[in-house]
Amino acid sequence: MIILVILASVLIVGVTIYQYDEQTKDYNISRFGRKEIATKKNIDFILKRKESVPVTAERIATIFRNKIYEISAVHSVEISIHDLQGKLLISSRTEPFKDTILQNISGEVLNNLEAFPNHRVFNHRDEKNVSFETSYNYLTDLTFKRIGILKIEFSQDNSEQEMELREFMSRLMYVYILMLFIAIALAYFLSSYITRSIKTITDKIHKTRFHKQNEKIEFKSRSREITTLVDAYNRMIDELQESAVKLAQSEREQAWREMAKQVAHEIKNPLTPMRLTVQSFERRFDPNDPNIKEKLKEYSQTLIQQIDVMSSIASAFSDFAKMPKQKSEKIDVVEVVKHALDIFSEEYISYTTSEKELYANLDKTQLIRIITNLVTNASQATEKVKNPKIDVKVSSVKETIKITVTDNGKGIDKAVEHLIFEPKFTTKTSGMGLGLPMIKKIIEAYNGTISFTSNKENGTTFIVILPRI
């Protein structure tokens, strides 16, 4: 809107100036035309009075010797009379013969006089604020015989008109400046009114989440375009809600299917040796065997061992399904980590820290569980390393506590790095792949993060970041 007002102002100013120049030019030409007609009639009247005297080119200077000044003064024009070859005979200018330009008419004008249908040549030029109109006509006697060329020149000072134009343009500029301020104010309020609705919609869209109860947009008064946009957004929210419900149901069903398959798989593993043990016992059982008690004890221990495996499987799935209780208490992380490492007797496990004490609101048992799991994984990764080394380090980074567990084991293959924190995934021949996903849930429950860096055959570093107090 502002650009349109400015553009319209510039165009109107330009058209106004152009129109003024054209009107001034047309007015001066029209005025000169009237003066030209009156001057020619006056000259013709003088020539008619000389009926008794032959009017020739040689006598023109004598006939108009005094009259030319009178005619020039009456009509406010400059008059010059030339012979048919363009040579100056007489002029109303003071001392005209000193100006060689005034003495002769150019050959081009003479040719145009002869070529033009009305035998009249007209020229217009502007110099500064003065416009000049000049006409050339044949001068004839009473028998319409050409006896000379009449040159009439009129000059008009346009300074007054220029001043009027400047005054008019200054008033017009005041009006346009006022219009510009009005346009700015109007544009501001209109844009604020329009963008208020757009901003509301934008804020709602930014807050829209797939797994969240999203609110619809309600406006009491709105334009047709905004109504269309709001209706489209509200329809999208309904469809999104339906999709979220369907997806959640599908995810739950898929999760139960995966869990059921995993549980069935893990339970089948100990059931097979248990079945074989029972079948073997049934075939080989001999009450009279003197070693029957030792064999019975051996069979019993095998069954108990497999039952313990099944119990551990059930406990692991139960622990993974439960979100860790956010029991928050002020604990010294430096001391708790040191205490968690006391259960490991391996000499290649080292503990370093640059802090004497670092406090955080955490569950002591859960923190020990995190450290134990990470160190256990590191130990298993260094089983086949000639000189194993595991370094646990605790440090302070700004407002957080950083715990790193570094080993020089076999590392993690790039192809499976994205699966490390996924349930069921494991690179070991035993285990259910629930350790890292479980501690990840514990850490995130306390607004922390866990990440890792690894190089194949050069070891792995797990990094735990927890908020400090």
Q: Give yes or no for residue 220 having a pLDDT over 70.
A: no
* pLDDT band per the 50, 70, 90 thresholds, residue 96: very low
* pLDDT > 90: percent of the chain: 17
Those residues whose C-beta lies under 8 Å from the C-beta of residue 417, and which sit 6 or more positions away, are: 454
* CATH classification for the domain delimited by 2-164, as one of 3.30.450, 1.10.287, 3.40.50, 3.40.1350: 3.30.450
- State which amino acid sits at residue 237: I
Q: What is the arithmetic mean of pLDDT over 391-402?
A: 93
Q: Give yes or no for residue 316 having a pLDDT over 80.
A: no
Q: What is the arithmetic mean of pLDDT over 156-169?
A: 82
| Closest residue by Cα to residue 135 from 149, 146, 120 | 120
* CATH classification for the domain delimited by 329-467, as one of 3.40.50.720, 3.30.565.10, 3.90.1150.10, 1.10.3720.10: 3.30.565.10
| Closest residue by Cα to residue 62 from 44, 76, 81 | 81
- Domain positions in the chain: 2-164, 212-322, 329-467
Q: What is the arithmetic mean of pLDDT over 156-164?
A: 80
User: SS3 breakdown of the chain: % helix, strand, coil, rounded to 5?
Assistant: 55, 20, 25
Contacts 24+ apart (CB under 8 A), 305-308: 306/270, 306/271, 306/273, 306/274, 306/277, 307/270, 307/274
Alpha carbons 451 and 465: distance in angstroms, whole number: 9
* Paired tokens of 372: 């134990």
Alpha carbons 417 and 457: distance in angstroms, whole number: 14
| Closest residue by Cα to residue 119 from 31, 40, 60, 21 | 40
* pLDDT band per the 50, 70, 90 thresholds, residue 213: low
* Paired tokens of 223: 């334009």
Q: What is the arithmetic mean of pLDDT over 445-462?
A: 89
Torsion of CA 358, 363, 367, 368, to 10 degrees: 110
- Report whether 89 contacts 57 (CB < 8 A): yes
Q: Which CATH architecture has domain 212-322?
A: Orthogonal Bundle (1.10)
Alpha carbons 398 and 396: distance in angstroms, whole number: 6
* pLDDT band per the 50, 70, 90 thresholds, residue 430: very low
pLDDT for position 98: 45
pLDDT for position 431: 45
Instruction: Report DSSP letters for 106-143, one per residue.
Output: -HHHHHHHHHSTT-EEEEEEEETTEEEEEEEEEEE-TT
Q: Give yes or no for residue 124 having a pLDDT over 90.
A: no
* pLDDT band per the 50, 70, 90 thresholds, residue 326: low
Alpha carbons 350 and 359: distance in angstroms, whole number: 21
pLDDT for position 319: 61
Q: What is the arithmetic mean of pLDDT over 62-90?
A: 88
